[in-house]
Amino acid sequence: MDGEPFDVPEGRTIAAALIAAGRVSWRTTRAGGRPRGVFCGIGVCFDCLVVVNGVPDVRACQRVPADGDVVRSQRGAELPG
C-alpha cells in the first residue's frame, strides 16, 4: 500500500488491513480534497476507494487483496492505467 509492504491475513479486506495498521483515511475527494476512509464498511457508500494494480474506484471494504497486488491511495477522480 503506497509502496509499503503489508502482510494481510487470508480473507481480510484491504480496508480492514489498513485500519488494523492504524490508517484512518486513504482517499481524497475530488472537489474539496477532503480525506476519506471507511464509512459504511459494506460496499454501499463508495467512500473507501483505492487504486488496485492501476485500476481506480475499487472499494477497499469489499476487495480482498491477492498476493502481489499493488494498492495505492486515490486522489480525487483518476484514470485507469
Partner 1 sequence: MRVVVVGGGPAGLAAADAAARAGAEVVLVDSERQLGGQYHRGTAQRADPRVRHLPESTAWAAEGLRLHVRTGPADSPHRTGRVLDADAVVLATGAHDRVVPFPGWDLPGVYTAGAAQALAKGHGVAVGRRVVVSGTGPFLLPVASSLLDVGATVTVLEANGVTGWARHPLAVPQKLPELARYARLLGRVRLRTAVVAAHGDDRVTSVTVARLRPDWTVCDGVRVAVDAVCVGHGFTPRLDLAVGLGCDLVDGFVRVDAVGATSVRGVYAAGEITGIGGADLAAAEGEVAGAAAARAPDPPIAALRAIRRGRRFAAALAAAHPVPTGRHGWLTPDTLLCRCEEVTVGDLHAALDRGAADGRTLKLVSRAGLGPCQGRTCGREVADLAAARLGHPLPDADAFHRRPFATPLRLGELAQHPEEDP
Partner 2 sequence: MRYPDVVVVGAGVIGAACAEALSAAGLRVTVLDRGPLGAGTSAAGEGNVLVSDKEPGPELDLALASLGRWPDLLAELGADVEWDPKGGLVVATGDTALTAFAEAQRAAGVDARPITPAEAFDLEPHLTRAVVAAVHYPQDAQLQPVLVTKALLAAVRRRGGTLRPGVRALGVRLANGAVAAVRTDDGDVPCGAVVIACGPWSGEVSTAFGAPITVLPRRGVILVTAPLPPGTVRHKVYDADYVGAVASGDADLQVSTVVESTAGGTVLIGSSRERVGFDASLRVEVPRALARRAVGLFPVLADVQVLRAYGGFRPYAPDHLPVIGPDPRCPGLWHATGHEGAGIGLAAATGRLLAELVTGVEPHVDARPFRVDRPGVCA
Report what 76 binds from partner 2, partner 1, none; CB cut-off 5-8 Å by kind.
partner 2
Minimum separation from the CB atom of position 76 to partner 2 (A): 7
Strand-strand pairing, 27-28 and 35-36:
antiparallel
- Written as nine digits, the cell of 11 is 480473507
- Encoded amino acid at 15, one letter: A
Count of residues touching partner 1 (by CB under 8 A): 38
Question: What burial class does residue 5 get, using C-beta atoms within 10 Å of its C-beta: 0-12 exposed, 13-18 middle, 19+ buried?
Answer: exposed
Give residues in contact with partner 1 (CB under 8 A).
11-13, 15-16, 19-20, 24-25, 29, 31-32, 34-47, 49, 52, 55, 57-59, 61-64, 66, 80
